[in-house]
Structure 1
Amino acid sequence: MKKNFRFTHRRGLQPRIMSNIPRSRNKSCPHEEEVLGNKKFESRPPILRQMSSGSLNVRTTDSKPQRTAARTKTTSVSDKTDTALPNSMSMGIMNDLLECKLCNKRLRRPKMLPCQHTYCLSCLQGLVQPTSKAVDCPDCGLQVPLRTTGPDGVVELPPNLYLDSLLTVLQQDIACGAGDQRCSRCQTVGSASSCQHCRQAFCTVCWASHITELKSQLPSLLDQLSGAKETLDHRIQDFRDVCKRLKQHINLAVEVKIQTLRVEEEKLNIRANELLKQGEESVENLLGRIRDTEQTVSKGSDFDAISENKKKVAMFLQLHRTTSALLDEVSHWSEARPTFDADNFRIDMAGESKAAGEVEEADDVFDDDTVRNIAQVNSPDSLYHHYRERAFTPRVSLGRSVLQRPAGVAVAPWDEEVNMYIAGTEGRQVLVIDRNRMKLVHQLSAANMLYPHGIAFSKFLREVYVTDKWNHCVHVFSAEGTYLRQLGKKGHAEGHFQSPEGITSGPGPNGKDDETLLYVCDTGNDRVQIIHPCDGSVIYILGILDPLPGHKFKRTEFNQPTGIAVSQDRIVVADFGNKRIKTYSLTGERLSEFGSMGEARGQFHSPECVAVDHLGFILVGDSGNARVQIFRPNGTLVRIFGGRGSSPGKFAWVSGIAVTNNMDIIITDSRNSSVQIF
């Protein structure tokens, strides 16, 4: 009985060794135990190990005991010969196995036909014409259809994975220089070394010529390096040209923008000149009517010439009404103060009245007011809910009978905060009102006080400080009302002022209450000056920035700051012209800012005054929108109340705001000439 022999091998690697050796259907690896146990050869297939050790194992398919015995025998022989050199028989079998029968050379990219004959890819492609749809096996003549016409179809034939793996392992052994190998140049089998450059093995004789070849290639490396330098020179020159054109494009774009800005600048300057001309014409017209009324009033003879008393009374009433109308017109003149909106690059008429309904409504009002007890609002969350649930219905409201165009308001830190001080701009004095009885108890005035605006106190010194917008200074009074001194004068130097408005007192940079400093909004100079209350010496200045490169003038981050408040750890400034609230540390470091131009929630239209409560919540007099907005210290909106109107709880222009220790909120309204306490 004819027996079929086959090599033992791993599953899936099934080359046909000879035409009379069928494909193996064995599903096990008889040498797996040996492969795992011998670390030296664990990366090489069993067939290669057998060939290299001279123990090639063959077995019959119909003898299971023989298979087991063969396996045992193979293992023992292999273990004994792992370090032995391959004999001529095993190397001959391996060379025949890896040799292409067409070119008689080592297989390259072996492709296996369905008949299991294997050839080089390039050799098979040489047998195929460009229009061929099949390839004939050179050995058995089997016609193999091709999916793709021509040589490209040969590429799609399956590779002989087993022989491919043998070639790979053999190449690895050659690279490692392990054992005798065949010289790739003279084909001599013996001791050979692998070249790491070309990945080929050379004998000792051929190594010298190979090294000479490598040396001969060094000039080509120099040529390549020289070419690389030349290429790099061209590339950097091209890159320089690109960057040069880039700068030209930038300069051109900047010039276009500058020209556009110049056009806008000219338009804005024309608009500013028009506003100035309109203002001057309006003042001249008003002065003319005042002079005419003065002449009429000064003619006492005309009054005496009237015989009937009723006609005299009628004439007096007419003159009185004319005079009152003129005085009211004078008091309201220049309320619409022009400011420059840098974000939108336009002139904004701050103070222009808006019709009711144009501004977003205040938050809903609850029926019952909460108890205003500081002990009940000792945390940010409880204070938040207090403001959210508060009705904001005014408990007290003073009108024109007591006040004429009030500005700033503040509560004295002495006498249990009974007295509130209100700057009366029309009367050029500060009114002191008892909050319990709501009666005028005192007045602060001075011959050189022209337009009192902001009010602050020093509890330690028992002094009152009043900014004078038109006299450009700070007046100092004692708690009893005695005029003491003047701080500063008109100018732009440190310690001088230009139309100062807001003022407050607070701790110095060290945060200690025993050191009281004055924080003054130097509105006309677009800065905030921190000064000593005794002599007006400047401690430091907020808002002044270093000049831009190439410029000599310093910059300012404020645009007419009008309101200021100080808590235990920060300074809050109402930046009137920029429509923002800005916060700083007590040392002058910028912390945050919030707000923008508009009527929506959290936006401002001319924020003129600001106050902070005992937990640092910020109350902003959004004057142009006729409302008050309350924020957390981080700028998160909490509540809005107010709205445009003259009825209780409504405003025309919020000109001053103060918060007492018992959570009373006092708001002055210059256009309604009123004070409301919530």
Structure 2
Amino acid sequence: MSNNRKFARRTDSSRQQRVPPKLNVENKGLKDESLAALEDLVICSICLEKLNEPRMLPCQHTFCLSCLKTLITAKNLVKTGLKLDLSNELKDIHCPVCKKEFKLNNRIESLEDLPKNFQAETILKLLEDNTNTPSTANKVVDYRCVKCQTVSENEGDHVCQHCLQVFCSICWINHISELDTNLSLLINQIEESRTRLAHKAQSFGGRCDQLVDAIKQSIEQKIAKIKKMEENVLLEMAAIKEQGNVLHDMINARVNAVKEKVEGIIKDSKQSNKISNYMNVHRETAKLFDEIYQYGEARIVFDADKIRIDQDKEGIYQDINDKDNLRTEKVDNPFESVTSMVKYYKSRTFVPRLLWTKCPRPGGVGIAPWDPSKIYVAATDTNNILVLDRSKFKLIKKINNPEMLCPTNLAFSKKYEEMFVTDKWKHCVHVFSCDGDYMKNFNGLGLKSPDGIAVGPNEEVVICDTGNNRVIAIDAESGALLYTIGKRELHIPTSVAIHGEKIFVADTGNNRIKMFNKDGLLLQEIGAFGRNKGEFRSAEVVAVDCLGFILVGDAGNARIQVFQPDGKLIKIFGSSEGFGWISGIHVTPELDIICTDSRKRSLRIF
């Protein structure tokens, strides 16, 4: 290449100018928006102006050299006396965009060694040339090396595809060497990144291992705490059982002693002391019978949430001053809607209009659909079913059979006009006709201490199999098993009620009322262990009225709680005399509530 050609400029505007395709801005006809897009590429993220001496960090983000110096200086100033100096701890820089950290081996001077962004410089030059050119029509384009400004007659000796700049042959060699240097730096950065990744992976793994150890330690502590609570509860339970055994032996010894005394009186031939001895023995026997009746009556309730046992004792719930009992507006038709029924329950004072105290330890209670004038009560002590005249409230009949040992609860089939009675001691269900005649029993179901019983809309008999922690349904005629629910959800179920397609179960062991469908799906549950509103201490009995309102015999708290169909509590009531242990609830179509109390041997009608 001659010297004249090197330093000659192309000034002949009449010649057709040829430029490399990538630099031919005029031939492409860049529009204003294209220039604006290019300007966005060369804006410094720190000063928000065009880049000046652009320097590229290892993360490939580019900034003004002066901006980087200003930024790192501002963040590392320390006060020494009355002066501000650069901190000696200056060893790294964080990218303002991606926040990645990079080492500065030579403190702030290391910024001078950062590689230039040739692409950004090219775009800046392109924009500068476009701004300085008043008209594209008369522009003369030369092919000048960006380093030495040597002009070439060709379309540029070398055009770099990376930075889009023109180089002469001599400068091209230096440019390639500079790119090789950048590649070497890039390799070093890659290796540093690999090391950094390994350290981070090691650190992350260490943190995970620490968390695993912490989780195991925490769980072990909790298990140890629960084990300790289990040990205490089992010791307490063993003490209660031992106390019961001792009391049993004492009562049994007294039974033998009284029996011998009675036999001695019978054998005594002297007539003078017969009457006095008989009276003494009679009093002693009556006292003994009362002790036998009281033995084992204390209900032991396990609170699974707090892992503790609570022995339910007789309590009295007074609702006289309860704010919920304040009368609201009178309800003419409570059956009109759920809202009207809510108002009706809230407006009632629930003072018993009838109290019968001659009931021998009653269990379940109900009214036969074929004769609503009679009340049927399961008398567990006398092993029979009592039939009362509802209007005169007079005992008119007793239904019994030698097969029946401990009638606990009862239900009626309207279609077959039959009464079904659960027998807790014989572990079966007895069937009586509407006239009280014994028909049969279902004893091949594997029942264990059955309690609550109800008849569904399809005349299926639903039974609380208390000892097996389940509820089963059987065919009313054949006794064939139809379905089972609650195998996993129930613990000591004692009562069941049915409304439509819903089955309500008193889950006494869990102190809850649970609602299932016939497929065994748990739909809803209400309650928890406690004495507060909506909580239970032995939810012994459940009943449902014609609109689906739920009445719960909260035996341990000596009260009845009334809930809406959606489970919202609306009423709590007891009685002026106080409940002992609610054992049965029946709601009539007229909304009379009949309650039996096994501990106080009574029956109340509200």
Task: Call closer, same or farther: CA 1:623–1:460 in 2, change over 3 Å.
Answer: same
Task: Call closer, same or farther: CA 1:528–1:149 in 2, change over 3 Å.
Answer: closer
Corresponding residue for 1:419?
A: 374
Displacement of 1:342 in angstroms is: 1.1
Amino acid at match of 1:611: A
Corresponding residue for 1:267?
A: 232
Corresponding residue for 2:387?
A: 432
The alignment yields a C-alpha RMSD, in angstroms, of 3.9
Q: Give the secondary-structure state (helix, strand or coil) at the position aligned to 1:299.
A: helix
Task: Call closer, same or farther: CA 1:225–1:317 in 2, change over 3 Å.
Answer: same
Displacement of 1:367 in angstroms is: 7.7
Task: Call closer, same or farther: CA 1:561–1:171 in 2, change over 3 Å.
Answer: farther
Query: Which one of the candidate residues 201, 217, 236 is aligned to 2:201?
Result: 236
Corresponding residue for 1:503?
A: 453
Displacement of 1:441 in angstroms is: 3.2
Distance 2:322 2:256 in 1: 45
Query: Which one of the candidate residues 309, 312, 334 is aligned to 2:296?
Result: 334
Corresponding residue for 1:541?
A: 484
CA contact (8 A) 1:654 1:667 kept: yes
Corresponding residue for 1:297?
A: 262
Query: Which one of the candidate residues 278, 297, 308 is aligned to 2:243?
Result: 278
Distance 2:475 2:486 in 1: 18
Task: Call closer, same or farther: CA 1:196–1:633 in 2, change over 3 Å.
Answer: farther
Pairing 1:397–2:355 present: yes
Task: Call closer, same or farther: CA 1:232–1:562 in 2, change over 3 Å.
Answer: same
User: What TM-score do you get using the length of structure 1 for normalisation?
Assistant: 0.65
Distance 1:585 1:290 in 2: 49
Distance 2:288 2:330 in 1: 45
Displacement of 1:666 in angstroms is: 0.7
Corresponding residue for 2:579?
A: 651
Distance 1:413 1:204 in 2: 112
Displacement of 1:172 in angstroms is: 3.9
Deviations 1:631-663 (A, max 9, x none): 0122111011115x6x3xx31111110111111
Structure 1 residues without counterparts, runs of 5 or longer = 1-37, 46-105, 110-119, 126-147, 152-166, 490-494, 507-512, 545-555
Amino acid at match of 2:605: I
Task: Call closer, same or farther: CA 1:226–1:478 in 2, change over 3 Å.
Answer: farther
Q: Give the secondary-structure state (helix, strand or coil) at the position aligned to 1:262.
A: helix
Greater length-normalized contact order (CA 8 Å, ≥ 6 residues apart): 2
Query: Which one of the candidate residues 184, 199, 202 is aligned to 2:166?
Result: 202
CA contact (8 A) 2:233 2:309 kept: yes
Task: Call closer, same or farther: CA 1:150–1:412 in 2, change over 3 Å.
Answer: closer
Distance 2:161 2:433 in 1: 97
Task: Call closer, same or farther: CA 1:240–1:290 in 2, change over 3 Å.
Answer: same
Displacement of 1:337 in angstroms is: 2.3
CA contact (8 A) 1:360 1:599 kept: no
Task: Call closer, same or farther: CA 1:121–1:531 in 2, change over 3 Å.
Answer: closer
CA contact (8 A) 1:472 1:498 kept: yes
Pairing 1:474–2:474 present: no
Corresponding residue for 2:99?
A: none
- Asked which structure has the greater CA Rg, the reply is 1
Which of 533-542 and 583-592 deviates more?
A: 533-542
Deviations 1:214-256 (A, max 9, x none): 4664455455445444443443344334333332332233333
Distance 2:480 2:151 in 1: 101
Distance 1:636 1:215 in 2: 78
Distance 1:293 1:370 in 2: 60
Q: Give the secondary-structure state (helix, strand or coil) at the position aligned to 1:516.
A: coil
Corresponding residue for 1:462?
A: 417
User: What TM-score do you get using the length of structure 2 for normalisation?
Assistant: 0.72
Residue-pair matches, total: 496
Displacement of 1:210 in angstroms is: 4.3
Displacement of 1:383 in angstroms is: 0.5
CA contact (8 A) 2:327 2:346 kept: no
Corresponding residue for 1:673?
A: 601
Corresponding residue for 1:528?
A: 471
Corresponding residue for 1:561?
A: 493
Distance 1:282 1:562 in 2: 27
Q: Give the secondary-structure state (helix, strand or coil) at the position aligned to 2:509.
A: coil
Corresponding residue for 2:363?
A: 407
Distance 1:405 1:369 in 2: 39
Q: Give the secondary-structure state (helix, strand or coil) at the position aligned to 1:391.
A: coil
Taking only the aligned residue pairs, the percentage that are identical comes to: 37
Displacement of 1:488 in angstroms is: 3.4
Distance 2:159 2:396 in 1: 111
Amino acid at match of 2:384: Q
Which of 319-328 and 633-642 deviates more?
A: 319-328
CA contact (8 A) 2:563 2:570 kept: yes
Displacement of 1:385 in angstroms is: 0.5
Distance 2:323 2:347 in 1: 10
Q: Give the secondary-structure state (helix, strand or coil) at the position aligned to 1:431.
A: strand
Deviations 1:15-65 (A, max 9, x none): xxxxxxxxxxxxxxxxxxxxxxx99458989xxxxxxxxxxxxxxxxxxxx
Structure 2 residues without counterparts, runs of 5 or longer = 1-28, 37-50, 55-64, 71-82, 87-121
Query: Which one of the candidate residues 618, 622, 639 is aligned to 2:554?
Result: 622
Which of 249-258 and 337-346 deviates more?
A: 249-258
Corresponding residue for 1:608?
A: 540
Distance 2:417 2:327 in 1: 41
